[in-house]
Amino acid sequence: MRIYPALAFATFGLLSCATVAIADQIGFDVTTGQKRALNKTDKTLVGTKQSIDAGQVIQRNSLGITILPPGAELAPGQFSSPKECIGKIAKISLSCSTCIDQASVKEARKPINFSIAVQAVSDLAAGEFVEPSKVKTIEKSVPPEQTPIEWLSNLRDVVGRKTIKAVRRGEILTESHFGPRGTILHPEEVKYFENNK
């Protein structure tokens, strides 16, 4: 069985961003539908669990791992380990739950020694939809391979979402500030502003 980009994208599309892998050694097993630790013999596929804009550095926190059935094979150019693409630059915009392959990334011209995070620039109340004017992206002196896995690093993954707990000015936003992203049939409730269309 071969996994081609369209099929792989469909596999990721069926998963909500919140259930895709959240650490280098944890993956989402498509056979069992559960997260679990990786084994050395696992066939794996790397994709996004957060949005990545064209020109943005790929960070550890943006990636997830899908554990494929034992007989599956990756199509040429697809990544099976986050280490293959962390620190590289996205050639194209990648939405949440998209497979990453060699054609969608390029090497950075110089070593990258910072990470991007989304920071609140004003207080947010629990139950409030995040407006574009209340958040911004900032650079932190953390290498991409060490970015805390809970950080959110793209405004597309924050603006328009409803908080489930209060956020203080200056705080870095994480998935824990929001509820589940939902499913295809029952997606997360979001509000659309100019910046998240």
Break the chain into its structural domains and give their ranges. 2-106
Joined tokens for residue 113: 């020694």
**Do 81 and 51 form a contact (C-beta atoms < 8 A)?**
no
Distance in angstroms (rounded) separating the CA atoms of residues 128 and 166: 9
Count of CB atoms situated within 10 Å of the CB of 137:
15
The fold of 2-106 is: Type Iii Antifreeze Protein Isoform Hplc 12 (3.90.1210)
Helix (H, G, I), strand (E, B) or coil at 167: strand
What does each of the 197 residues of the chain score in pLDDT, given as a tens digit? 444 443 444 444 434 444 343 345 899 999 999 999 999 899 999 999 999 999 999 999 999 999 999 889 888 899 999 999 999 999 999 998 899 999 999 999 999 999 999 999 999 999 999 999 999 999 999 999 999 999 999 999 999 999 999 999 999 999 999 998 888 888 999 999 987 76
Q: Within the chain, where are the H helices?
A: 5-13
Give the predicted TM-score (pTM) of the model.
0.82
Distance in angstroms (rounded) separating the CA atoms of residues 1 and 170: 48
